[in-house]
Chains A and B, each alone.
Chain A
Amino acid sequence: MSLVVAEAITKVFGARRRRRAVVDACTFRLEPGEIMGIVGPNGAGKTTLLRLVAGELPLTTGTLAVAGHRAGTRRARRAVGYAADPPIAPPELTGTEWLAYLASQRARSSGERARLVRSAVEVGETASFTARRIATYSRGMAQRLGLAAACVRNPAVLVLDEVLSGVDPLVHRRLRQQIASHARAGVGVLIASHDLAAIERLATRVVLLWDGRIVADVRAAALLAERVVELSLAGSALADAERFVARYPGATRTGQGVAVPLTGGLSAEAVLAACRDARLAVAASRVRYRALEDLLLAAARERGEPT
C-alpha cells in the first residue's frame, strides 16, 4: 500500500486578484522505503507541498491520503513525523523536554517514552546539546533536533524540510545514513532541499517542482546512470554556444561552455564531431554522470529563466 497518495492536489493562497496556486495539480505516490527528494527553485511550492502532506495546511482541491487516511485528520497526523524549516519547537524548553513531550503522545509507558527519546537523540545526534534550552541552539542544532522530533514517534512517513541544511559535513553524512536506515525499515521519506548533492546521494526518486507543478519525476538511479559531455569552448566560440545548445534537447550553458546530455544514443564523439562541423573551438571536454543540477538547469532553460 502506498504511504502517500496525492491526486491532483492544489493549494491556493490569497483571494480574487491575489489568488495564486502555490501547489498546482500535483499527483504522486510515495511507497514504503522510498526516499523522495523534492527540488526546485525558491517559491516552487516545496514547503507548501510538504505542509500539505504533514497536515499543517488544508488542501484547496484534490485528494491526499497519508497511510490510508485523509491528510490533516488525526490518524494521518499520527502517521507523519514532520521536520519544518525553520524547525518548530518552543524556545523556552530544552531539547530533552520537547522530545519527551512528543514521545509521551505515542508511548504506552514511561519506559517506552524514555526509549523513544533515547532513540530520537541518537537519530538527530543531539546528545551533546539536548539538555540546553532550544533558544540557545544554532541553526544546525535546531535542524538536528527537528529531525529527532520528527522521528521520535516512529512515524510511517517522514516529511523533512531542509533538515540537512546548516549542519557540518560529518554530521550531514551521518544524518543521511540515519534517514536511509529509516527508509530501509519501511518508512517513506519526503525530503525537500536546495542541497542537490545531498538529494542525489540520499533520494531514490526525485521530483522537480516549478511554479507549484511537478515538471519532472525521475528515479535517481536512472537519472544518475545518464552521462553528460561537458565542453569548454575557446573564447571566440562562446558566442555561438547558445545556438549549439538549442540543437540538443536538455543541453545547457555552463560557465565556460556547454553541457550536453548523452541521451537517445548520442555519443560524446558525435557531439565533438558536431562541434568540428560547426567550427566551434573546443578547449577541453569531459564526460561525467548526469546530475540534478542538469535537470534543474534544463527546466530553467525551457522556461526562459536565467541560468
Chain B
Amino acid sequence: MGAGPLAFRGEVVLGMLLVTRHRAVRLAGVLAVVVVGLALLAGDDGGAVARRQAVFAAGGSLAAVAASRLLAPGAALAAGRQTGGPWWRAPVGRLTGAWLVVAPPVAAAAVLLVGSVAGSWAAGRTAAVAALHVGAVGALVLAVAPLAGASAAAAVGLAVAWLGGVPPSVMGAALDAWPYLRRPVVLAWNTLPLDWRAGRWLRASTVEDLAVLAGWIALGCIVAAWAAARAYRRPDPPNGSEP
C-alpha cells in the first residue's frame, strides 16, 4: 500500500474510532434501537411506509450524531490540519469510516423492518436507500461541525432526521400564514437530504432524488473541507485556546 492509500486508510480508521468511542454516538445508537424496536412491536400498523420512516429517522439520527464528531473543533479538526494532507482526505476518509460503522446496522434494521411486511426485494431497496440517506445526512452534519461545533451540527442532523419525513407540500401548507418563512423553509425542504426524498425515491425511483442524496455527500465533503479551512482563518481568543 502506497503513501496516499495508507494515509486515506488512516483517516477511515480515525473516523471509525471517533464514532465508536464517543458516548453520544452510543446513546444515539440506543435511541435508534428503541425506535426500531417500537416499530417492530407496532406490528403491521401503517405497513411498509411507516416502517421505512422509522428506518430513516433512526438511521439519520445515528448518522447525525456520529458525523458531528468527525471534524469537531478540537483534536479532530486540528489533526486534519496538522497532517497537511490534501483538502479532501480528512472529510472523505472520516465520513467513509463513520459510514462503515453506521450504514450496516441501519441496513440491517431496514431488512428486519421492511422485509417482514413488503418482501425481500423491497427490504433490499430500502436498505440501499437508507445507507445512501445515512451518508447524505452525515455529510451535511460534517459540513456544519467545523464552524458551528459538534453539538450544533448534531442538532441540525437530528432535526433533519426527525422532521425530514414531512413532505415540502405539507410543510408549505403549514406555513401559509407566514409567507416570509414559508419560502426559505420550502426551499430548504426541497434541497436538503431529507427522509421524504429518500421515501419518494423508493416509491418513484426518480433521478432527481438520487442526485440530491448523492450530491449531498459530495457537497458535504467539499463544504466540510472549506469549513475546516475557514475555522483556521477565524480569529481565536487571545489565549489561543480551541473553542
Contact = CB atoms under 8 A, between A and B. Distances in A.
Contact of B3 (A58, A102, A107): A107
B240 to A, nearest CB: 5
Interface stretch (B40-48, B81-89, B138-146, B212-220): B81-89
B24 to A, nearest CB: 11
Contacts of A109: 1, 6
A108 B239 CA distance: 37
A243 to B, nearest CB: 38
A14 interface: yes
Nearest to A80: B82
Given A47-B240, A57-B240, A104 B7 contact: yes
A54 B3 contact: no
A74 interface: yes
Nearest to A15: B235
B235 A74 contact: no
Given A88-B78, A90-B76, A51 B232 contact: no
B84 A75 contact: yes
B240 A51 contact: yes
Interface stretch (B15-23, B108-116, B156-164, B187-195): B15-23
B190 to A, nearest CB: 37
Interface in B78-113: 78-79, 81-86
A72 B21 contact: no
Given A88-B242, A93-B21, A100-B10, A82 B235 contact: no
Interface in A42-84: 47-48, 51, 54-58, 72, 74-78, 80, 82, 84
A93 B238 contact: no
Give the size category of A's interface with B: 35 or more
B2 interface: yes
A266 to B, nearest CB: 41
B82 A82 contact: yes
Nearest to A153: B83
Give the size category of B's interface with A: 20 to 34
A92 B22 contact: yes
A103 B242 CA distance: 24
A89 interface: yes
Contacts of A133: 21
A105 B10 contact: yes
A77 B229 CA distance: 13
Interface in A1-21: 13-14, 20
A88 B75 contact: yes
B184 interface: no
A56 B17 contact: no
B91 to A, nearest CB: 15
Contact of A56 (B6, B78, B239): B78
A101 interface: yes
Contact of A58 (B17, B83, B232, B239): B232
Contacts of B233: 58
A141 interface: no
Given A14-B235, A54-B82, A88-B74, 14 more contacts: A13-B238, A57-B232, A80-B82, A89-B75, A90-B75, A100-B10, A102-B79, A104-B9, A104-B13, A105-B83, A107-B6, A108-B3, A108-B6, A109-B6
A89 B78 CA distance: 9
A75 B83 CA distance: 10
A101 B240 contact: no
B176 interface: no
Contacts of B83: 77-78, 102, 105, 153
Contact of A55 (B22, B76, B81, B85): B81
B202 interface: no
Contact of A104 (B10, B81, B232): B10
Given A14-B238, A48-B240, A109-B1, A101 B81 contact: no
Chain A CB count within 10 A is highest, among B6, B17, B74, B78, for B6
Interface in B16-65: 17-18, 21-22
Contacts of B18: 90, 92-93
Chain A CB count within 10 A is highest, among B7, B84, B232, B237, for B84
14 contacts: A22-B238, A48-B240, A51-B240, A76-B84, A78-B83, A78-B84, A84-B78, A90-B18, A93-B18, A101-B10, A104-B7, A104-B9, A107-B3, A153-B83
A162 to B, nearest CB: 12
Interface string A241-269: 00000000000000000000000000000
Minimum-distance CB pairs A-B, first 7: A104-B10, A92-B21, A77-B84, A78-B84, A105-B83, A90-B75, A74-B84
A144 interface: no
A1 B81 CA distance: 25
Interface in A264-299: none
Nearest to A107: B6
